[in-house]
Structure 1
């Protein structure tokens, strides 16, 4: 049996074929001539002055997998995404140009569990994504008036055990709720966040560390980073102080214990 040629040798042999020889090889393999293939390719390209074909949208029967949306059941403590996170994911699919409405609808239905799934069930099989989102917002969304949310924002203050990151996330969520209702512009939101973040810090050490940055007009993003750095430094100093105090207390206990032993010995000698 003849030894098979290496692939590179086969490629070199094919490249050396003439047009007539190439046509014979293609005919023997049952393939169309190269001229037909090139003509078909040229016809598939957009002609000058013609708009390009739009990107194909993934439909319900396209064979592509349905995108995954975080599970939401409407019940707390199950380790699932929050309602706002769920809304964010669904809106991301709707705003994208890849998936059609039917695919997004399937993704939404698959993501709901328990009580949240019952909400969609009561809407009926004909309910679309918009109807489902509207219903879910009424049941699980924040129904407080914008004035109440604004009041909560202005009266907010960092908790005693709340980290800088948690404090920032809390006030950012309040501002985001106002922005989603068009009750606040992007420019106003930045200024409000910057002022509230600094003034609402509960630890005087952090405010002192950030005062020159805040007075200098640094952005909210930079203040947040600086506050986290200052928080780590303050925590580190506090830990060191606790360690030193613990060591001194241990030494003091040993000294007192030795003094007690000496006192007992003196009493025995007397």
Structure 2
């Protein structure tokens, strides 16, 4: 009974280590001259091309940094998990490093190929000029702003816990109608996540308000609009009357022959062509001229009583 009542101290020989339920490779490897069961974490696939089912470089790097911070796996185990997760171009980059490299060398190599190369000024300019797109939701816009804020933290442009800058950038980049509605929340809500929740609520209210307007409202007829319409109708009627009058004129005078305009002097000469000749016939005519009608001397001359002819007397009658 005395022997059973004594609690034996825990030693390496009688302590059972519970392994984390992660991906386990049952093959035994030689590490440090000893045989051991080698466990490695399951990391999402990464090729650098962001294909379907793969993560981007920032997400991949965050996952590796989280494993290092937690301390559940050694660097050799994490390195083995990176080799299993690397695909295509990323796997080729690790292959060119060769064997016998450590985790830091692998991370530096991947950072040089897939890391951000933008300068601090460019990242800060993109952060402060970020605006919400017309059909972009608040969640998507906030995700873009947070990604730029994280890049700015990485290059030393802003501090990681400076959420007042993050909230201000998110508010300034909102659409005009949503920004006007969120002005009061921006002044009263200090927490960034709470402010983002309030923005989502306002966005939902705005969408419901637009969806409730099923029938389009008819525009209000102002006096100016009615006067303009009245003037248009009068002009239309006037044009119709002008067209009608022109058609009537063209039908009425269609059979009349067109006579060109002539001056007064031309018309005198046209209807009285020999007027000038008759005025000066005494100076222009010769001896053989015979008038168109008998003159007074011949008309009232005495005739011969014997032969009845004019121009001589009876005593001088040749007959």
What secondary structure sits across from 1:63 in the alignment?
Answer: strand
Matched ranges for 1:98-247 at <5 A: 98-187=72-161, 189-204=162-177, 206-241=178-213, 243-245=214-216
Gaps of 5+ in 2: 21-28, 219-319
Of structures 1 and 2, the one scoring higher in RCO (CA 8 A, sep 6+) is 1
Matched ranges for 1:65-84 at <5 A: 65-84=39-58
What secondary structure sits across from 2:9 in the alignment?
Answer: helix
What secondary structure sits across from 1:44 in the alignment?
Answer: coil
What secondary structure sits across from 1:244 in the alignment?
Answer: coil
What's the counterpart of residue 93 of structure 1? 67
**CA offset at residue 97 of structure 1?**
1.7
What secondary structure sits across from 1:42 in the alignment?
Answer: coil
What's the counterpart of residue 229 of structure 2? none
Gaps of 5+ in 1: 1-18, 20-33, 46-52, 249-270
Q: Distance in 1 between matches of 2:201 and 2:57?
A: 31
* 208-217 or 61-70, larger mean C-alpha shift: 61-70
What's the counterpart of residue 44 of structure 1? 10
Residues 64, 239 of structure 1: CA spacing in aligned structure 2 closer, same or farther, 3 A cutoff? farther
Tell whether the 8 Å contact from 2:79 to 2:102 is kept in structure 1 after alignment. yes
Residues 56, 137 of structure 1: CA spacing in aligned structure 2 closer, same or farther, 3 A cutoff? farther
What's the counterpart of residue 251 of structure 2? none
Q: Which has the higher helix share?
A: 1
What's the counterpart of residue 277 of structure 2? none
TM-score normalised by structure 1 residue count:
0.67
Q: Distance in 2 between matches of 1:244 and 1:77?
A: 45
CA RMSD of aligned residues (A): 2.9
**CA offset at residue 183 of structure 1?**
3.3
What's the counterpart of residue 263 of structure 1? none
Q: Distance in 2 between matches of 1:174 and 1:194?
A: 13
Q: Which has the higher strand share?
A: 2
- Runs of at least 4 residues off by over 4 Å: 55-62
